[in-house]
Amino acid sequence: MKWITARRRHPLAGYVVVILALALFGVGYAAVAPTSDQAQAQTLAADVQSPEDVDVAEGKTIFDQTCASCHGLDGSGGEFGPDLRDVGPAAIDFQVSTGRMPSMNPDAQMPRKPMVMTEQELASLIAYYNESIRNGDNGADVPYDVPDIAPDFADFEPLRSDFDSEEDYHEAVEEAEAEYEAALEEYEAEYDDYITGVDNTDMGMRLYLTNCAHCHGWSGGGGALTDGRWAPEIHESTPREIYEAMVSGPGAMPMFSDGVLVPEEKQELISYVKTLQAEPNAGGIFDLQRVGQVAEGLIGWVVGLALIVACAIWITAKQRAHD
């Protein structure tokens, strides 16, 4: 300890103590703050099936083999999972398409992950759910009019190994690019169609700030809740998933039924969330990688406080030198 005593009166000692204390505080905060949902690779959109193109028997097999162990063969719930009979197909579509279900750990909140089944299998699962598990028409329907996932070039890209000559391969790549562009255009047209007339992001922003921002952050970066739960970032969510999150109220999220936020307000909200998603960085003077307002506030606070304390020490030191 001698070296500390010896240096305690050094003019820089005060700064060192303050900086150390703030650094410790910062590290401590980072250690206890739950990691917000890491952006995971988007689910690949294997050719999106129309809802009619389904196989109910296949859906039953999927349910029995991957869901029933926790939710019961009849979906009435059990020791490891809740009753699904009243949640509605929008909840099934949301939970499976965001990769939350099938859950790996019934005691923990599930992060967003790539979907474990194909779109075709999910459609079959939903058909089986509607036919054999759903209680009447309880719960929300899948909002099929709301666009889902945007096309991904990876789904069109040809495999080099499928071609003998470089020329054929290049030709196939060009074809794939054209197909992808066309699919993307179609998707964008579908999306524009969906938000036509409501792309008044002012209203969407107000709805977002009053209903969602206190959990998901002003920029959609997510944030911590109580009990080790967290509101995930919403930058990867498709328009349909945003809609379904609202009508199903997953986990600790409240439900915003169509009576609470009418479909048109949901469209406004979705168009606003899409503008948040489109911005590479949702603003702020310093690029803090969208850590969210609480963390940004904390950083501002720590840095600001350090400056104020440093000034105080400097002024006192000047004063002493003067005396």
Q: Which residues bind ligand HEC (CB under 6 A)?
A: 66-67, 69-71, 80-82, 84, 87, 91-92, 95-96, 98, 100-103, 106, 109-110, 112, 211-212, 215-216, 225, 229, 231-232, 234, 236-237, 241-242, 245-246, 248, 250-254, 256, 269
Toward ligand HEC, which CB reaches closer, 14 or 231? 231
Say how far apart CA 145 and CA 270 lie, in whole Å.
13
Q: How far is the CB of 224 from ligand HEC (least distance, A)?
A: 10
Toward ligand HEC, which CB reaches closer, 156 or 268? 268
Toward ligand HEC, which CB reaches closer, 216 or 274? 216
- Of the candidates 210, 222, 201, 219, the one whose C-alpha atom is nearest the C-alpha of residue 256 is 210
Say how far apart CA 55 and CA 302 lie, in whole Å.
57
Q: How far is the CB of 303 from ligand HEC (least distance, A)?
A: 28
Q: How far is the CB of 91 from ligand HEC (least distance, A)?
A: 4
Structure tokens at 174: 């060009």
Toward ligand HEC, which CB reaches closer, 103 or 309? 103
225: exposed, middle or buried (C-beta count within 10 Å: 0-12, 13-18, 19+)?
middle
Task: Give the CA distances from residue 2 to residues 16, 102, 164, 222, in Å, rounded to whole numbers and listed in that order.
Answer: 17, 59, 77, 47
Q: How far is the CB of 316 from ligand HEC (least distance, A)?
A: 45
Q: How far is the CB of 137 from ligand HEC (least distance, A)?
A: 16
Structure tokens at 80: 């490891």
Q: How far is the CB of 30 from ligand HEC (least distance, A)?
A: 21
Toward ligand HEC, which CB reaches closer, 81 or 151? 81
Q: Which residue is nearest to ligand HEC (CB)?
A: 251
Say how far apart CA 24 and CA 30 lie, in whole Å.
10
Say how far apart CA 297 and CA 303 lie, in whole Å.
10
Toward ligand HEC, which CB reaches closer, 35 or 316? 35
Toward ligand HEC, which CB reaches closer, 191 or 256? 256
Q: How far is the CB of 110 from ligand HEC (least distance, A)?
A: 6
Structure tokens at 285: 């003077």
Neighbours of 244 (CB within 10 A): 29
Token pair 């209903």 in the structure block, residue: 211
